Amino acid sequence: MNLFINKLVSSIIQIIMFTLIPFIWWLVTARKKENFFSWIGLKKATSDKKTELWVYFCLVTVGFMIISLFVLFILKDTETATSEFSGMGIIGLPAALIYAFFNTALPEEILFRGFLLKRLEHKLSFFIANIIQSIIFGIMHGIMFISLVGTGKAVIIILLTGSIAWFMGYINEKKANGSIYTSWLIHGLSNVFSALISMFSLI
């Protein structure tokens, strides 16, 4: 119960922190043009080709899970965000769900795919903007572990997480009409997958 409450409080803080700069930017530049939720991509995912969207969604989700599995192998015996669920079994699921969708996935999607990618896309081409956000996303994840696993493994983590970030940016902007709900769900499901592996000590 304590872990659940901790994750809930931590999630609220994370969401506020990661949303603050985008919200201030919106207030200054776009408040009179569009509501904040639509501007940041928290809007219904729409597509003329729904089957294609679901195919992309499933492929990227499975790809993210495979990459998560590989990263967990690289980080074996290293303290990670899911380590606190280690060996908890099904009792850890409520806290893991909060962690997966609200503590990490939502704040990161708001900042990277909702804010950074969309703002860069206004100044640059989508291709360049998506590469930039994915590189920054990858570096952010790799740099956390460089002192623990060394430069080589950290570079692998950067490349893998950066690749997934690129695909999530692509599916949002090119297949889901700019909605970040798509990548939020992909990201959250992958986090649940990683947490389950830790909960049942599968690695």
Q: What angle do CA 180, 108, 65 make, to 5 degrees?
A: 80
Domain assignment of residue 193, given as a range? 48-199
Evaluate whether residue 181 is within a structural domain: yes
Q: How far apart are CA 34 and CA 68, in angstroms?
A: 36
Evaluate whether residue 43 is within a structural domain: no
Query: Could you give phi then psi for residue 73, rounded to 5 degrees?
Result: -65, -45
Which pLDDT value is given to residue 198?
A: 87
Mean pLDDT of the chain: 91
Evaluate whether residue 109 is within a structural domain: yes
Evaluate whether residue 9 is within a structural domain: no
Total domains, the chain:
1
Which pLDDT value is given to residue 74?
A: 83
Average of pLDDT values for 116-144?
94
Evaluate whether residue 33 is within a structural domain: no
Angstrom CA distances, 70 to 64, 165, 172, stand at 10, 16, 24
Evaluate whether residue 153 is within a structural domain: yes
Is the predicted pLDDT of residue 75 greater than 70, yes or no? yes
Q: What angle do CA 76, 79, 81 make, to 5 degrees?
A: 105
Token couple for 2? 């304590």
Evaluate whether residue 17 is within a structural domain: no
Task: Let me know: does 86 contact 197? Beta carbons within 8 Å.
Answer: no
Any residues with CB less than 8 A from the CB of 96 and at least 6 apart, and which?
A: 82, 85, 192, 195, 196, 199
What is the value of pTM for the model shown? Answer: 0.91
Per cent of the chain over pLDDT 90 is 70
Q: How many CB atoms lie within 10 A of CB 9?
A: 12
Q: How confident is the model at residue 1 (pLDDT cuts 50, 70, 90)?
A: low
Evaluate whether residue 7 is within a structural domain: no
